[in-house]
Amino acid sequence: MNVTVFGATGVVGRALVPLLAAHELTAVSRTAREEPGARWVAADVAEGDGVAAALEGADAVYYLVHSLGARDFEQQDRAAAERVAREAAKAGVRQIVYLGGLGADDPDASPHLRSRRETGERLASTDVPVTIMRAAMIVGKGSAAFETILALVKRLPVMVTPSWVSTPTQPIALDDVARYLAGICGNEAAYGRGFDAGGPEVMTYRQMIERIAALLGRKPAIVEVPVLTPYLSSLWLNLVTPVSASVARPLVEGLRNPTIAREERIRRLLPLELTPFDEAVRQALA
């Protein structure tokens, strides 16, 4: 199959590309590059430059890009998804695979999660079948949400946290996300369907912080306060973590929504052995 990956240089894209080695691969990034294993194409989904060229001859397309951090990220993501969907239909693509977010279908979802859902809807606005895989926090090096938690654990002996630390989530290892994504490529049973890809354990963010801290040999005190707005939280994260406030705020807002798998269809379709949380953290720290 001819496969095009938008966002090939992102955290998930880098983990996915080696797993697609059996296919004729076109890797797309915003700047031109030359790396073995794929035909590299420069394209900008926000502006449209190079998108048609990247999709030429493609059978399947991975859409792994987002504008998180931009002031108008919701509008940008909608427009970019529409553009790629339109061009994919013109190019005769048979499947678009999109990585969305768990909890995004919640009617009260945060703007970030809502944007993930709308992106999926825009990608599905043509006749090209879309496969949506929804994941919670991805545990892997470079994952913004994971790096934020990690920085908090590493830097703060005492954490004053908002009530979102009690929200349940189902983090999944980066490698497992990549394997699921690779497994649904060209899989007709996955055409036009959505899948919840949860990790093997459900935990609250507080439990996650405590588990990561234990692996790092730390024991931070966690003080939960009922009132701490996402804005204040994002300023605080901007101060003590490498994540900028513009990225932290939508992420923090999203932490209010439970992000757990509602169904296990992906586990029946692709019965992979999932990486335990502690092992996923160890791999991310290596």
Partner 1 sequence: MAVMGRNEQKSPLSRSIDSDVGLPWVDGGGDVIGWEASERVRECGSFESRQRVLVAEPVVEASEAGARTLGVTYWQAVDRFTRGGVRASWTGGGGKLKLLGAATLLVFGPPELSFDGGLVSCRHSIEGGLLALRASGSVTLAQRPEGDQQELSVTVEGYLPRLAARADAPPWTGLLYAKGQSPFHAAVSRRYFGLLLRSPDS
Among 88, 190, 261, 270, binds partner 1 (CB under 8 A): 261
Run of H or E residues at 220:
none
Task: Tell the burial category of 277 from Cβ atoms under 10 Å away from its Cβ (0-12, 13-18, 19+).
Answer: buried
Give, as ranges, the residues between 190 and 219 that touch partner 1 (CB under 8 A). Answer: 194, 196, 198, 202, 204, 206-207
- Do residues 24 and 56 make contact, with C-beta atoms less than 8 angstroms apart? no
Q: What is the distance, to the nearest Å, from the Cα of residue 17 to the centroid of all Cα atoms in its chain? A: 15
Nearer to partner 1, 56 or 263 (CB): 263
Give, as ranges, the residues between 105 and 134 that touch partner 1 (CB under 8 A). Answer: 105, 107-108
* Contact stretch for partner 1 (CB under 8 A) within 27-35, 46-54, 101-109, 173-181: 101-109
168 contributes a contact to partner 1 by CB under 8 A: yes
Among 42, 154, 258, 269, binds partner 1 (CB under 8 A): 258
* Contact stretch for partner 1 (CB under 8 A) within 89-97, 213-221, 238-246, 258-266: 258-266
229 contributes a contact to partner 1 by CB under 8 A: no
232 contributes a contact to partner 1 by CB under 8 A: no
260 contributes a contact to partner 1 by CB under 8 A: yes
State which amino acid sits at residue 8.
A
42 contributes a contact to partner 1 by CB under 8 A: no
β-pairing, 203-204 with 168-169?
antiparallel
β-pairing, 172-173 with 138-139?
parallel
Total residue count of the chain as it appears in this document: 286
262 contributes a contact to partner 1 by CB under 8 A: yes
Helix axes 205-215, 144-155, angle to 10 degrees: 60
Nearer to partner 1, 49 or 264 (CB): 264
Among 125, 163, 229, 244, binds partner 1 (CB under 8 A): 163
264 contributes a contact to partner 1 by CB under 8 A: yes
Nearer to partner 1, 125 or 163 (CB): 163
Q: Which of 252, 260, 247, 250 lies closest to 102, judged by CA?
A: 260
Please tell me the distance from the alpha carbon of residue 4 to that of residue 17, in angstroms, as a whole number: 10
Residue the block writes with tokens 């035909």: 39
